[in-house]
Chain A
Amino acid sequence: MKMEEIISPENLVYTKTSLMTDKPLSFCPGCGHGVIHRIIMEVIDELGIQADTIGVAPVGCSVLAYEFMNIDMQQAAHGRAPAVATGIKRCWPGKFVFTYQGDGDLAAIGTAETIHACNRGENIAIFFVNNGIYGMTGGQMAPTTLPGMRSSTTPYGRDVALMGNPLKMTELVAMLPGTYFVSRHSVHTPLSARRFKKAAKQAFENQKLNKGLSFIEIVSNCNSGWKMTPVESNKWMEANMFPFFPPGDIKVNGELVKKAEKPE
């Protein structure tokens, strides 16, 4: 078969969504951010809601999200994305509003904004990328850094007696009556990426129901910050992050899921 015959519409298995710009991603090779970006944009594309969607990019590795996402976006101060999203959504209740936040942003400096946006039941979606480290600033300890895990500010490992325990924000916000859908995912395998996409779609569709906030954590790797190869980092993530942050639905349709799924 000639090449010209292979390149035909019926053989198309993948196409880049027009909701991703042509700008090369600035993320480290092997990092999960690019996949998460693309999946969220694919969902907005498939739902046909680009003209009614406003995204909020915070501070951290995701600070330049607006360079890659071809939608209207606002860049928020560190930790304040849920407040910024609240301001947008309250003024435009018919629009789709989401934040895209890392663990330092959402679970440390922005803890108050996160909990209160969840508790008020703002009809927005929060995408929470948890890689257990401050990536942008060079690999410091995050609120989600595992006990014993090394970072540039815990060079001998996180000592919980001195530095406290990692924070499970997702389980915490699931307890609040304002959250409608709370789920934890990853994107390091084709299956997990497909599951995340389904949840992301749900998070946008939920906004039409006006029943509360959709909160999706994506446990992801930071191969640069963890000082590993991409493949090693994904294996390390499965072996170490998943037992502490198990993937699966935590709250569906406003009801807590009784038994969390076992790690993949």
Chain B
Amino acid sequence: MGDIKLMKGNEAFAEAAIRAGCDAYFGYPITPQSEVMEYLAYQEPHKRTGMVLLQAESEIAAINMVYGAAGTGKRVMTSSSSPGISLKQEGISYLAGSELPCLILNVMRGGPGLGTIQPSQSDYFQSTKGGGHGDYRMIVLAPASVQEMSDFVKLGFELAFKYRNPVMMLSDGIIGQMMEKVELFPQQPRMTEFDQSWSTTGKTADRERNIITSLDLDPARHERHNQKLQAKYKLMRENEVRFELIDAEDADYLFIAYGSCARICQKSIRLARAKGIKAGLLRPVTLYPFPTEKIGSMADNLKGILTVELSAGQMIEDVRLAVEGRVKVALHNRMGGMVPSPEDVCNALVQSFSIR
């Protein structure tokens, strides 16, 4: 058993970064995730593991520092919140196009624009459908607890290197700021060997030079590059779908929610079942790839699906695509930093499907 501590989600993420053997963190302060860099600075990771920590002049510089370090085969990360993640989109597109592994944390706050510092889930489209320019995807992990803010760092790096692709942890202001018990995994060593088939650590006599680039001016070759990327995303969809089911075996009605909303729905299930309504929860753990097949396979046995989101209704589009009209899908949402109570969610279920 590892160390058990009471920590904020952002702190658990930062501690997990050191323990996962992360080589470098580049970031820029923004609420509600500034504790990540503050915690790292206090921990002096260069003394603990030799990890590099650098506060950049902007989110743009930070993601490009990630690009440079990732291009040398190192295990690197950055974190930010919604407006800052928007600034990083160009860099994320380049990382995806150049096939570089890295981990990016988004502790979502309300938008659009400067929005609010309160929690939100309104960056779902941005995270799962691309975000930057060009046809690319990244694996998106949605932690719903402080424990997962820690565990997903290790998982995220594994997936990033498995597919040589950026991985995003899509969290929100509630998960980042709340304190919970967390069991920390033991310290892992930092890497000592780097894949010489692609990383730029200096051209040695025994190999050709390596080039990290997303540019190819030959359209035929560039189409092949795009096809290669799409084949990789198909592999992700086949192999990396993750979800959690709670009380779903006998459920007539299914909540579908991720992150903080999934936690709220757990309480709503108990409230609904106390009223005699057989409610359950499907919590997507990966938002990309989305558990499309699982949701589709459940559609015929359900009387209704209620997606619960801190957005105008973004994930609901993927749920509707999954069920292909075979069951009614309704939305309960709050926006701008407001959060529904478990009672609100339970009442929304009753009203949406006219349950008596």
Contacts and interface: CB of A to CB of B under 8 A. Distances in A.
Contacts, number: 123
A91 interface: yes
Contact of B205 (A51, A54, A87, A113): A51
Nearest to B214: A75
Interface stretch (B52-60, B245-253, B255-263, B287-295): B52-60
B200 A73 contact: yes
Interface stretch (A9-17, A76-84, A179-187, A240-248): A76-84
Contacts of B76: 87, 91
Contacts of A56: 68
B213 interface: yes
B56 A83 contact: yes
Contacts of A64: 215
Given A63-B215, A66-B213, A73-B212, A87 B202 contact: no
A83 B65 contact: yes
Interface residues of B, number: 39
Contacts of A90: 24, 52, 54, 65, 69
B72 interface: yes
B131 interface: no
A173 to B, nearest CB: 14
B72 A92 contact: yes
Interface string A98-138: 00000000000000110010000000000000000000000
B210 interface: yes
Contact of A77 (B72, B94, B210): B94
Given A87-B26, A91-B23, A75 B215 contact: yes
| Chain A interface helix/strand/loop/mixed | helix
A53 interface: yes
A140 interface: no
A77 B90 contact: yes
A74 B60 CA distance: 17
Interface residues of A, number: 31
A3 B70 CA distance: 52
Given A84-B64, A84-B65, A113-B57, A91 B210 contact: no
Contacts of A72: 200-203, 209-211
A88 B212 CA distance: 12
A109 B91 CA distance: 14
Contacts of A51: 202-205
Interface of B: 23-24, 26, 52, 54, 56-58, 60-62, 64-72, 74, 76, 90-91, 94, 98, 200-205, 209-215
Interface of A: 50-54, 56, 63-64, 66, 70-77, 80, 83-88, 90-92, 95, 112-113, 116
21 contacts: A51-B204, A66-B211, A72-B200, A73-B211, A73-B213, A74-B212, A74-B213, A75-B211, A75-B212, A75-B214, A76-B67, A77-B94, A80-B60, A87-B71, A87-B76, A88-B72, A90-B24, A91-B23, A91-B74, A91-B76, A116-B56
